[in-house]
């Protein structure tokens, strides 16, 4: 597979301890976005006061343009919660990624702050 568009994930590998870790799949096509996370951490994210989001283009699977991570500050610790694989680094992909996170959490986020440094590709 050369890019995220052609990636098909078999059902038997999207589970961990019989629980699905694939939380969002935007579907097929050029704007495909996948978001992964486990149930326990997603429940934690609903209760955090501060959310930190960042993307990296250096440390990522070669089939996508970046990996983004969402962390939450909970009980004096910053915990990794969700990881996403957007196809590209456009504003549309960032928006769709955040909408995917909202769908994962059923819009139950109520943090005091959300900190991010997403930058559009030049």
Q: What is the 3-state secondary structure (H, E, C) of the chain?
A: CCCHHHCCCCHHHCEECCEECEEEECCCCCCCEEEECCHHHHHHHCCCCEEEEEEECCCCCCCCCCEEEEEEEECCEEEEEEEEEECCCCHHHHHHHHHHHHHHHCCCCCCCEEEECCCCCC
**What percentage of the chain exceeds 90 in pLDDT?**
2
Residue 25: CB atoms within 10 A of its CB come to 15
- Asked if residue 101 is part of any domain, the answer here is yes
Distance CA 7, CA 87 (A): 11
- Asked if residue 121 is part of any domain, the answer here is no
- Asked if residue 60 is part of any domain, the answer here is yes
Segment 7-63, tens digit of pLDDT: 777 766 666 666 678 888 887 777 788 888 888 888 888 888 898 988 776 777 677
Q: How many folded domains does the chain comprise? A: 1
Closest by CA to 61, choosing from 85, 94, 31, 32, is 85
CATH number reported for the structural domain that contains residue 88 in this entry: 3.30.420
Residue 122: pLDDT band (50, 70, 90) is low
pLDDT at 46: 82
Instruction: Check: pTM over 0.95? Answer yes or no.
Output: no
pLDDT at 84: 86
| 105: containing domain | 4-116
- Asked if residue 106 is part of any domain, the answer here is yes
- Asked if residue 122 is part of any domain, the answer here is no
- Asked if residue 40 is part of any domain, the answer here is yes
Gyration radius of the chain over CA positions: 14
pLDDT at 95: 80
């Amino acid at each position: 597979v050369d890019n995220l568009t052609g990636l098909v994930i078999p059902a038997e590998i999207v589970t961990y301890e019989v629980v699905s870790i694939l939380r969002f799949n935007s579907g097929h096509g050029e704007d495909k976005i996948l978001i992964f996370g486990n149930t326990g951490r997603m429940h934690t994210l609903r209760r955090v006061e501060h959310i930190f989001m960042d993307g990296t283009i250096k440390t990522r699977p070669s089939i996508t343009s970046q990996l983004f991570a969402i962390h939450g500050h909970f009980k004096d610790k910053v915990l990794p919660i969700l990881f996403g694989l957007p196809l590209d680094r456009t504003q549309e992909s960032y928006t769709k990624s955040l909408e995917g996170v909202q769908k994962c959490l059923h819009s139950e986020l109520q943090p005091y702050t959300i900190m991010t440094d997403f930058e559009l590709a030049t």
